[in-house]
Amino acid sequence: MDARVTKERVIRDFDQYVDERIDDGVFRVNLDMFRDPELFDLEMEYIWEKTWVFVVHDSQIPENNDFITTQIGRTPVILQRGDDGQVRAFINHCTHRGPRLCKTQRGNAARHTCPYHGWMYDSNGNNLMVTDEEAGGYSQAFKSMSHDLHQVARLESYRGFYWASLSDEVSSLKDYLGDIGFFLDAWIDQSPNELEWVKGDANFTYDGNWKMVFENCLDLYHAKTLHASFGNAVMNRFKDMGEDERKSINLDDFVNATAEVSYYNFENGHGALWIQNQSQQEDRPSYAMYKEMEARVGAEKAELMLSGKVAAIFPSILFVESATFQMRMIRPISVDKTEVYAFCLAPKGEPAEARALRIRQYEDFFSTSGLATPDDTAVYRSAQEGDQARTLEWNQGYHRGIEMIQRGPDEKAKQMGFSPTLSIHGSIAIQGEAMYIGPYREWLKKMNAGQDSALSKLSGDVRG
Amino acid sequence: MDKGQLQQEATELLYREGLTLDRQRWDDWLDLWTDDCELWIPAWISEHEQITDPQKEISLLYLSGKNYLKERTERVLKGMSPASVPMPRTCHSVNNILIDAYTSDSMTVQSVFRVDYYHHKKVYGFFGHYTHQLVQQADGWKIHKKQVTLMNDFISEVLDVYLI
């Protein structure tokens, strides 16, 4: 093998993909970011395999030896609670020849035995057996190797939410999340007893780039048009049944009402939005616990806890609350294929009636069998197809609200005490879609840093 | 009614359900259901375990009452939902129909199904088991409950009543 050829890289000028001129009222990203397979491979290497990726919530693996499998970038990963109760992240790969040790999405196992040659590991990742080692004629060098499972470089928890990184050159998880943690707290603190996973998998794929679902959750502009069919169904429920027993968000009301909205960008690529003074607050499942929340955390925080809100944590996880709350883990498969692992977290100790309402609302809007998400996935596919127009380089889709961007916090953020890098505040009628600047700044930063590090490693190798 | 005759009634109803969906005869399809009907696709928890209580756990689909079925057919008819524009072409196959339990005016029917559909120049499919609870009403046998065990539950973009 010729090392010079395999290590050769085309040096990319990533700056050309992100055109940020806020003072001139322009922000746009190049369509190649959605359609160039080589760029996708570089995103895997420079972003997904170099930063914190959300992997599991504590309540999804509650018992000792429980495990769940996932992916970080292209790497298959096991999250397992060991027999000592500690959660660890391993690469799902037998140290000997490489088969995946956990083949199911979740389970409980005190031992992992590789089906190929029988090497065995415990739930803490320790190698228990190299099959027939004594008679194997192994070298001293082999015997001095660790045969344990490869641990993922970093694993940290934010109040029960675990992120992992394949690279150890990352800041602490707390620093990486920064002030978007304020939004996470608004979900976590909904119950004095934390959140729990509501069982049942409803995962899906779509034929489009991973950034489409990330963008979608920070875009209120599409709600009225793309989800008109959902809005129509909700209106008809009042007509046919006298009420909507699922108490879904009325989209007409949503756009025309007196509600206000704040959009935020935070350090490290995170985005958020928060709908204020929204009607139908009493139709939210969390309303059942509102009095208790208010007494515990105060009126301002309780309002954020009850409100419609989104936290998009770059690049891997979306916390989305319309009427009810869903988490969406993004798993890019190829430039035009994405898996979404969706799950419902709810306050422990929620009254049964509120829990049932939460579940119906969740399925009604968010599920891929529901009345909203399938229209999103259909349009991602359609945009992926439209974006193949190779003579075109740019879309115009990041300008709505751009004139209203303020640097630093808006009044709401100041009151609450968190520090976004950019804010937009105004009537919900803005239906903003300008707050992709933070995520794409981070994209650019990670791509440049990844390339610099790869190139310096390469020149180091050549010198060495 | 003897079991042979019930078997024939059940078979005809299940075939008719597939036929009305495939031919997009939505009103005829709705006529096959009781007003207080239930259509339930429990979600999976692990390889061979599904949820058991739709009020406490997440379902792939849980519709209770005919109005919620009608809302699905109207969604298709109105043409405002990109998920069903264009509508996939579907083909329902139902097999291995067995009556599990029956009285003079109700029966529980087990079967297997496969739905092939054509969308975006590709063939997709769903397959699994049906459990139908049928009841006899003045105008014939109706579907009171349909429970679907969906084997391939990693959904490609959309799952809806006309795809299962």
Which residue from B41, B44, B155 is facing A204, i.e. has the nearest CB?
Answer: B155
SS3 A449: helix
Chain A residue with Cα closest to B41 = A369
Q: Report CB contact under 8 Å: B67, A241.
A: yes
Arithmetic mean of pLDDT, A204-219: 97
Answer whether A311's CB lies under 8 Å from A319's CB: yes
Instruction: Collect all residues of chain B within an 8 Å Cβ-Cβ radius of residue A205.
Output: 154-157
For chain A, which residues lie within 8 Å of any Cβ of chain B, measuring from their own Cβ? 104-107, 198-207, 226, 228-229, 232-233, 236-237, 240-241, 339, 343-344, 352, 355-356, 359-360, 362-363, 367-369, 371, 374-375, 377-379, 381-382
Domains of chain A with CATH codes: 57-156 (2.102.10.10), 177-448 (3.90.380.10)
Report how far residue A451's alpha carbon sits from residue A12's, in angstroms, rounded to the nearest whole number.
8
Calculate the alpha carbon distances from B49 to A95, A124, A200, B40 in Å: 30, 26, 10, 16
Q: How many alpha carbons fall within 13 Å on the CB side of residue A93?
A: 14
Instruction: Collect all residues of chain B within an 8 Å Cβ-Cβ radius of residue A343.
Output: 58
- Band (pLDDT 50/70/90 cuts) for residue A242 is confident
A369: left (phi over 0), alpha (psi -120 to 50) or beta: alpha
Chain B residue with Cα closest to A355 = B56
Calculate the alpha carbon distances from B101 to A64, A310, B9, B131 in Å: 42, 49, 14, 11
Q: Which residues make Cβ contacts (< 8 Å) with residue A77, sequence separation at least 6?
A: A55, A69, A70, A71, A89, A90, A91, A92, A152, A164
Lowest mean pLDDT across A74-78, A158-162, A252-256, A361-365: A252-256
Which two structure tokens, joined as six digits, stand for A278? 């929204």
Q: Which of A199, A331, A366 to mutate to test the interface with B (most CBs of B within 10 A)?
A: A199
Higher-pLDDT residue of A241 and A144 is A144
Instruction: Collect all residues of chain B within an 8 Å Cβ-Cβ radius of residue A240.
Output: 67, 70
Q: Report CB contact under 8 Å: B42, A200.
A: yes
Residue B105 sits in a domain whose CATH number is 3.10.450.50
Element containing residue A234 per DSSP (H, E): helix A228-241
pLDDT in tens, B43-63: 999 999 999 999 999 999 999
Instruction: Collect all residues of chain A within an 8 Å Cβ-Cβ radius of residue B80.
Output: 228-229, 232
Please give the radius of gyration of chain A, using alpha carbons only, rounded to the nearest integer.
Answer: 24
Report how far residue A106's alpha carbon sits from residue A104's, in angstroms, rounded to the nearest whole number.
5
Instruction: Collect all residues of chain B within an 8 Å Cβ-Cβ radius of residue A202.
Output: 43, 58, 60, 153, 155
Which residue from A104, A237, A377 is facing B46, i.e. has the nearest CB?
Answer: A104
**ipTM confidence score:** 0.96
The count of CB pairs under 8 A between chains A and B is 131
Q: Report CB contact under 8 Å: B80, A229.
A: yes
Judge whether residue A26 has pLDDT over 60: yes
Percent of chain B with pLDDT over 70: 100
Q: How many alpha carbons fall within 13 Å on the CB side of residue A10?
A: 7
Please give the model's pTM, rounded to 2 decimal places.
Answer: 0.95
Judge whether residue A2 has pLDDT over 50: no
The residue assigned the tokens 């919530």 is: A57
Report how far residue A289's alpha carbon sits from residue B18's, in angstroms, rounded to the nearest whole number.
44
Which two structure tokens, joined as six digits, stand for B35? 């007003």
Q: Which of B127, B149, B136 is nearest to B10 (CA)?
A: B136
For chain B, which residues lie within 8 Å of any Cβ of chain A, measuring from their own Cβ? 41-47, 51, 54-62, 65, 67, 70-71, 74-75, 78, 80-83, 120, 153-160
Judge whether residue A254 has pLDDT over 70: no
**Domain range for residue B15?**
3-163
- Band (pLDDT 50/70/90 cuts) for residue A462 is low
DSSP assignments along A40-105, one per residue: HHHHIIIIITTS-EEEEEGGGS-STTEEEEEEETTEEEEEEE-TTS-EEEEESS-TTT---S--SS
DSSP assignments along A283-318, one per residue: GSGGGGGHHHHHHHH-HHHHHHHHS-EEEEETTTEE
Report the alpha-carbon angle B155-B158-B162, nearest 5. 110
Report how far residue A339's alpha carbon sits from residue A341's, in angstroms, rounded to the nearest whole number.
7
Cβ of B100: how many Cβ atoms within 10 Å? 11
Element containing residue A177 per DSSP (H, E): helix A173-177
- Band (pLDDT 50/70/90 cuts) for residue A295 is very high
Predicted pLDDT of residue A282: 80
Answer whether B72's CB lies under 8 Å from A232's CB: no
Q: What is the largest CA-CA distance in chain B?
A: 47
pLDDT in tens, A397-426: 999 999 999 999 999 999 999 999 999 999
Number of domains in chain B: 1
pLDDT in tens, A369-390: 999 999 999 999 999 999 999 9
Q: Report CB contact under 8 Å: A203, B54.
A: no
Given strand A127-129, what is the order of strands in its sheet? A111-113, A120-122, A127-129
Answer whether A347's CB lies under 8 Å from A278's CB: no
Predicted pLDDT of residue A258: 83
